[in-house]
Structure 1
């Protein structure tokens, strides 16, 4: 198995912090040219500076997943600037920890736009480019929230269950044009997504996001004629699944 991603151009949505930051660093270290697609310019630019100083190829593009034009523009720019668009990692996600009766319509819509509509847009425009190349890889970061449910997370569950179904449908279409698709179901990680919202959570039962990023790298390094439609990566002690 080739242990380098040299020559591959990767877009990581939400790549400025948390799991996205680890994915960016891990794939850049493996030789890929990584584009961070995010709305958090300051964090993204700081990460670009850090990794560039280490000799890695990383860039930042402002990407608003709720804006169709922004998504199409970023993907077209990547193709034009780098000559190919090889890997799409749909990582960005948000949540509102509220009871259904307290969750506003605007909050529901915002989460759906980022968590479900966003991956549809990036996949729609990304697959158009990858289909012309007859090659590419799309990895959608799902969650154990797509396998069960807990209280005060209704929009997150709805969006992640939807993303899992969308990913399976995307797999069936993308394979026709030589593009691989994997849904990566990640269990709880030591990232701001959980730690900032739940200060009482025990970090010892969560996994290092680096571990998930390494699994993504290994998926991308698979140069056999086999494909992994879905992969679950969970911490040994965390209990969100099963």
Structure 2
């Protein structure tokens, strides 16, 4: 999802107060699904923390949200840095008084055969896609355990199936799915909901920049996935969905 697309996004006025009073932190919030999440959730009344490795791009998204009447804050964050992850959670609670929802969306990939995969690239993918969600969930749960909250982990169909030249990505997303289910079991007694969202192919830079020849008609708008995430957040207090898959109608990586 580009900045131009974001600036043209129009929230449904009927949904403007659905998430009023909620504070939501979105990692990887400056582009793609993360930016779509920020706009959909802000358009529904949530205060959104746009956290991203690239602060300038996070600030652009936050400014767009504010220009549309939303409440937003940009935050520079390397999710794989333990000190930075803890500080991001603490700063959010200190600034806004609460953290209702953490969305672990930040992700990266290296597309190449395993024999060509550099060890440092493997480590980078794992730190972003798996270690980061572990860190942020660990620190967020401290603040949620008294009043409850939600942790939503953005996985992928890559957490269910495998294809060549994506060993690090698959390993990280299968691990994230396992972590998500483990946290679902562990944190439910604390009134913390944990959901894994397995997103199919989307029209985002994550795919389009790496695979310019991909058939975009087989991909879904990231806003559609963002709306599904919002639906999970809006579930009644007594209900939780541990795992949800959101596919485009022409998904090629899933039956």
TM-score by length of 2: 0.92
> 1-side partners of 2:67 and 2:216: how far apart?
31
Q: Would you say 1:64 and 2:52 are equivalent positions?
A: no
Matched, 1:90 2:78: no
**Aligned alpha-carbon RMSD (Å):** 1.3
Q: What residue ranges of structure 1 are gaps of 5+ in the alignment?
A: none
Q: For residue 202 of structure 1, what is the aligned residue in structure 2?
A: 215
Q: Name the residue aligned to 1:168.
A: 181
Aligned to 1:131: 145
2:37 is aligned with 1:18: no
Provide the residue aligned with 2:5 in structure 1. none
Q: Is 1:215 matched with 2:246?
A: no
Write the distance in 1 (CA, Å) between the matches of 2:79 and 2:234. Answer: 27
CA–CA separation in structure 2 for the residues paired with 1:224 and 1:63: 30
Stretch moving more, 186-195 or 43-52:
43-52
For structure 2, the residue ranges without an aligned partner over 5 or more in a row are 1-14
The alpha-carbon deviation at position 239 of structure 1 amounts to 1.5
Following superposition, the deviation at residue 66 of structure 1 comes to: 1.6
Q: Please tell me whether residue 187 in structure 1 is matched to residue 200 in structure 2.
A: yes
2:163 corresponds to 1:153: no
* Structure-1-length-normalised TM-score: 0.97
Shift of 1:176: 1.0
**Structure 2 counterpart SS, 1:7:** coil
2:149, 2:193 within 8 Å by CA — same for their partners in 1? Answer: yes
Asked whether the equivalents of residues 28 and 105 of structure 2 are also in contact (C-alpha less than 8 Å), the reply is yes
**2: distance between equivalents of 1:160 and 1:3?**
33
In 2, are the aligned partners of 1:2 and 1:221 still within 8 Å (CA)? no
Q: Which has the higher contact order (CA 8 A, sep 6+)?
A: 1
Number of equivalences? 241
Runs of 4+ off more than 4 Å: none
Contact 2:16–2:45 under 8 Å retained in 1? no
